[in-house]
Amino acid sequence: LPAIGTATRLLAVFGDPIEHSLSPAMQNAAISALGLDYVYLAFRVTESELAQALAGVRSMGIPGVNVTIPLKQAACALVDELSDDASDAGAVNTIVNCDGRLVGHNTDGQGFVASMGDDLGLDPRGLRVCIVGSGGAARGVAVRLARQGAHSIAFAARSADRAWSLSSLVKGRCPSCATGIVSLCDREQLDRVLASSDLLINATPVGMYPRVEDSLGINLAYLPKHACVADLIYNPAETVLLREAASLGYRTMNGAGMLAHQGALALKLWTGADPDVGIMRSIVLQLGG
């Protein structure tokens, strides 16, 4: 890190727990490569403390912060303005302090699409997508894919209620994208959905460290030969899902690129500089994979 002086600006991530966050290592590496006079630190902030912490951001003129689990939804109501991406995602992961006015952004969906371009050479336009899971990450990714021209999105989920509401939300925001739901228990229907998908995305924590041998039990052989499989998980770097997909000859990507790109987009929003995503991704894989 460059010498810290009175001109050094603070950036931070708030969350609870925060001990395992890769963001400080990833952001400080990018800041150092850019030669910027910033330092990025992690703070444990609970949901009930978030309003106070953001008041501190305003009063101390901190240029920006990331917010992570469990603060992403709560932050929506505490900022002064939401970007379209944050409003689409129903969650904020990046806050920019514009002279005391806090603007909430969400760079997760854009981060996923950028990573998809890098890792799989895929463009969302015309894609038929099947997303497993219907939580926060699925929402951000789905609306972004729909906004960028995905042909259709099927949500495969264990609970129909959340999947239905996500399916109608995406349809409401992007009427040109067809949406539907399929139960993870209805194997026959799931196999039919897989057979007409170009991209399968795991947006559940199934297979994440430490339960690395957990599997969704999806029969990947029903996917067309040209299909790709993405997992939002980056630890381990190769989940059971990605291992099975690769062994069947499908192109795969993990969540490291998404994490690096969402961080790079946040750093650009705060500083205007273009970070080296490769440096950020290598930190994620080194520390988290």
Region label for 272, one of left (φ > 0), alpha (ψ between -120 and 50) or beta (otherwise): left
Q: Which amino acid is at 198?
A: D
User: Residues in contact with ligand NAP, total (CB under 6 A)?
Assistant: 24
Shortest-Cβ-distance residue relative to ligand NAP:
135
| Residue of the chain from 27, 97, 167, 204 that contacts ligand NAP (CB under 6 A) | 204
Q: Does residue 162 belong to the site contacting ligand NAP (CB under 6 A)?
A: yes
Residue 258 Cβ, how far from ligand NAP at the closest point, in Å? 4
CA 273 remoteness from chain centre? 21
- Give 102's strand partners: 97
Of the residues 72, 171, 225, 268, only one is catalytic, namely 72
CB of 44 closer than 8 Å to CB of 15? yes
Residue for token pair 């273009």: 274
Q: Does residue 136 belong to the site contacting ligand NAP (CB under 6 A)?
A: yes
- Give 38's strand partners: 9
Nearer to ligand NAP, 55 or 185 (CB): 185
CA 284 remoteness from chain centre? 14
Q: Does residue 18 belong to the site contacting ligand NAP (CB under 6 A)?
A: no
Region label for 119, one of left (φ > 0), alpha (ψ between -120 and 50) or beta (otherwise): alpha
CB of 57 closer than 8 Å to CB of 102? yes
| Residue of the chain from 174, 259, 264, 267 that contacts ligand NAP (CB under 6 A) | 259
Nearer to ligand NAP, 64 or 288 (CB): 288
Q: Does residue 182 belong to the site contacting ligand NAP (CB under 6 A)?
A: no
Q: Does residue 138 belong to the site contacting ligand NAP (CB under 6 A)?
A: yes
Q: How far apart are CA 145 and CA 97, in angstroms?
A: 28
Q: Is 95 exposed, middle or buried (0-12, 13-18, 19+ CB in 10 A)?
A: buried
CB of 74 closer than 8 Å to CB of 50? yes
Is 171 annotated as catalytic? no
Q: Does residue 20 belong to the site contacting ligand NAP (CB under 6 A)?
A: no
Q: Does residue 42 belong to the site contacting ligand NAP (CB under 6 A)?
A: no
Strand, coil or helix: what is 38? strand
Q: Does residue 197 belong to the site contacting ligand NAP (CB under 6 A)?
A: no
Nearer to ligand NAP, 234 or 270 (CB): 234
Residue 133 Cβ, how far from ligand NAP at the closest point, in Å? 4
Residue 52 Cβ, how far from ligand NAP at the closest point, in Å? 24
C-alpha distances out from residue 195 to 150, 191, 219, Å: 17, 6, 10
Nearer to ligand NAP, 101 or 211 (CB): 211
| Residue of the chain from 104, 124, 133, 236 that contacts ligand NAP (CB under 6 A) | 133
Strand, coil or helix: what is 126? coil
Interface of this chain with ligand NAP, residues 213 to 242, rule: CB under 6 A: 232-234
| Residue of the chain from 151, 158, 187, 243 that contacts ligand NAP (CB under 6 A) | 158
| Residue of the chain from 2, 17, 126, 135 that contacts ligand NAP (CB under 6 A) | 135
Backbone phi, then psi, for 101, in 5-degree steps?
-95, 120
- Give 231's strand partners: 202
Q: Is 188 exposed, middle or buried (0-12, 13-18, 19+ CB in 10 A)?
A: exposed
Q: Does residue 262 belong to the site contacting ligand NAP (CB under 6 A)?
A: yes
Site of interaction with ligand NAP (CB under 6 A): 108, 133-138, 157-159, 162, 184, 203-206, 208, 232-234, 255, 258-259, 262
Catalytic positions, written as ranges: 72
